[in-house]
């Protein structure tokens, strides 16, 4: 065959022959740097999960759920790459330098504004620079799998950093930077002592003194909500009873499903407590549980979007409580919380569970709700698998796993009367006002049956066996 007038790119387009004659990093050096990247991403995951429950700002709860999952995905990828590079045992649980841990230990204790500044303006930009340096230093052909992982990690880090800039602009006042100066200076000094994120710089200076003392950090399991979540103890509307009432119109049920979705904000608040208070689990457990945590945050935001489409100003018209996450986090052990989560998810699997919600959206001729419920249903199937892998596998049998979850859920005490008597809430029936607002926005006449729905206290447990027919 005659030579091509213009040959295609050399070396599969990864580099030119002239570029590829430079040796680049050794396996040992590339692995050493990967382990540094891995550690920073893993500590980022731990940090964000640990702060979800106690963070009042709704948008940060949701963003940190996403950012924790993204970090977990790249942790997983880097762990796998190390395992491909002559490294058994991998040594991935060891900290590469005390300076990196100083940074994250301080961020764990930091107020929100300082955490935002320290993570998104110091630590993650330094990680991005280290990843860029690694990609440039290592061989484009010999170490192509590593360069590919770095490329994807940097792509998503760009998104995280963009979000961080916007969150800082919205939430950190000018004097917030002044207050954060000791922490920010300490972070720079700690990274310098570590030789940078990747350890390629000459280590300079000792570790700084702790900014907030040496008391070990302790997870705070009491959910916090911002001012948009007025009346967080309100349990005056039983969404499940309404949804499974055959007399109620599908269009009104869709509105109630949006409430159910937004109410799922408490699932990340509870799952974060399981992850933070269950040490010693394999990394794959943390990855799977973090994926589920992010899915539940997505579901909450689906409810937010749904209310926007329905014409309902949810902060003014809907009372989204935190009683489920509060009860589980303060009354049960991490294993018991996981048992309750699995028990409830099993109740969502029969045809009267998630399928019913999807069919309700179809019956209401609401394409947005149908899309949300279609994916919500798919997510719950995945979550059932996560439960089987990481909860049921520790139990004597699937039947006993469900029974234990039921028993744990039965022990959770909801102080309905106590909260009312103490003035925390009057369990007001907000439903008619929200429903009327929706009908007015859409130009439809309210259905008398939906307006007359009895929201009086029936069963705070909202027993899933009665509502869905699950065993």
Instruction: Dump pLDDT digits (tens) for 188-211.
Output: 999 999 999 999 999 998 999 999
147-172 per-position pLDDT tens digit = 999 999 999 999 999 999 999 999 99
Predicted confidence band at 461 (pLDDT cuts at 50, 70, 90)? very low
Nearest to 181 by CA among 94, 257, 113, 96: 113
Average pLDDT score, the chain: 94
Q: What is the pLDDT of residues 345-391, one digit of tens each?
A: 887 766 668 999 999 999 999 999 999 999 999 999 999 999 999 99
Res 332: pLDDT: 98
pLDDT in tens, 247-304: 999 999 999 999 999 999 999 999 999 999 999 999 999 999 999 999 999 999 999 9
Asked whether 268 and 55 are in contact (CB, 8 A), the reply is no
Q: Provide the percentage of residues in the chain whose pLDDT is more than 70.
A: 95
- Cβ-based neighbours of 289, under 8 Å, separated by 6 or more: 271, 274, 275, 386, 390
For residue 124, which of 208, 55, 40 has the smallest C-alpha distance? Answer: 40
If one compares 60 and 215, the residue with the highest pLDDT of the two is: 60
Predicted local distance difference test score (pLDDT) of residue 214? 86
pLDDT at 456 over 70: no
pTM for the full predicted model: 0.95
Q: Residues 108-121: pLDDT tens digits?
A: 999 999 999 999 99
What average pLDDT does the segment 395-421 reach?
94
**467 pLDDT more than 50:** no
- Is residue 12 over pLDDT 60? yes
Taking each helix axis from N to C end, the angle separating 431-442 and 283-310, rounded to the nearest 10 degrees, works out to 60
Give backbone dihedrals phi and psi of 453, rounded to 5 degrees, phi first. Answer: -55, 130
CATH code, residues 22-193: 1.20.1260
Q: What is the pLDDT of residue 1?
A: 59
pLDDT for 464 beyond 80: no
The tens digit of pLDDT for each residue in 301-337 reads 999 999 999 999 999 999 999 999 999 999 999 999 9
Q: What is the pLDDT of residue 86?
A: 86
Highest mean pLDDT among 184-188, 462-466, 467-471: 184-188
Q: Are 192 and 201 in contact (CB under 8 A)?
A: yes
Task: Give the confidence band of 13 by pLDDT, cuts at 50, 70, 90.
Answer: very high
Tell me what pLDDT residue 394 has.
Answer: 94
pLDDT digits (tens, 9 = 90+) for 26-41: 999 999 999 999 999 9
């Amino acid at each position: 065959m005659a030579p091509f007038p213009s040959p295609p790119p050399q070396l599969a387009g990864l580099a030119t022959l002239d570029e590829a004659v430079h040796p680049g990093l050794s396996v040992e050096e590339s692995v050493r740097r990967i382990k540094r990247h891995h550690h920073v991403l893993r500590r980022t995951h731990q940090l964000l999960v640990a702060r979800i429950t106690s963070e009042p700002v709704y948008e940060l709860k949701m963003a940190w759920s996403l950012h924790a999952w993204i970090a977990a995905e790249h942790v997983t990828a880097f762990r796998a790459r190390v395992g491909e590079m002559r490294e058994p045992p991998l040594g991935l649980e060891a900290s590469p330098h005390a300076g990196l841990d100083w940074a994250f230990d301080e961020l764990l204790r930091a107020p929100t504004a300082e955490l935002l500044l320290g993570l998104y303006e110091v630590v993650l930009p330094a990680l991005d620079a280290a990843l860029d340096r690694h990609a440039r230093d290592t061989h484009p052909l010999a170490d192509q799998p590593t360069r590919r992982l770095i490329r994807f990690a940097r792509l998503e880090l760009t998104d995280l950093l963009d979000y961080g800039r916007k969150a800082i602009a919205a939430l950190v006042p000018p004097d917030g930077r002044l207050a954060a100066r000791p922490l920010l200076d300490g972070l720079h000094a700690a990274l310098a002592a570590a030789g940078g994120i990747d350890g390629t710089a000459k280590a300079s200076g000792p570790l700084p003194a702790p900014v907030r003392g040496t008391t070990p950090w302790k997870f705070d399991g009491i959910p916090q909500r911002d001012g948009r979540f007025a009346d967080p103890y309100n349990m005056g509307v039983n969404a499940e009873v309404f949804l499974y009432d055959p007399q109620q119109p599908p269009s009104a049920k869709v509105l109630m499903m949006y409430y159910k979705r937004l109410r799922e904000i408490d699932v990340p608040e509870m799952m974060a407590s399981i992850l933070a208070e269950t040490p010693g689990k394999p990394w794959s457990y943390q990855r799977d549980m973090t994926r589920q945590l992010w899915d539940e945050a997505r579901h909450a935001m689906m409810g937010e979007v749904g209310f926007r489409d329905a014409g309902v100003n949810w902060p003014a018209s809907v009372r989204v409580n935190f009683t489920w996450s509060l009860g589980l986090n303060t009354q049960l052990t991490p294993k018991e919380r996981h048992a309750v989560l699995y028990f409830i998810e099993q109740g969502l699997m029969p045809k009267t569970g998630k399928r019913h919600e999807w069919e309700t959206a179809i019956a209401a001729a609401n394409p947005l709700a149908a899309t949300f419920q279609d994916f919500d249903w798919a997510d719950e199937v995945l979550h059932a698998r996560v439960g089987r892998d990481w909860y049921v596998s520790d139990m004597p049998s699937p039947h006993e796993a469900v029974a234990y979850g039921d028993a744990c859920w039965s022990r959770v005490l909801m102080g309905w009367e106590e909260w009312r008597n103490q003035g925390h809430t009057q369990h007001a029936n907000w439903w008619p006002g929200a429903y009327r607002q929706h009908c007015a926005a859409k130009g439809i006449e309210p259905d008398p049956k939906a307006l007359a729905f009895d929201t009086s206290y029936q069963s705070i447990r909202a027993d899933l066996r009665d509502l869905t027919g699950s065993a």
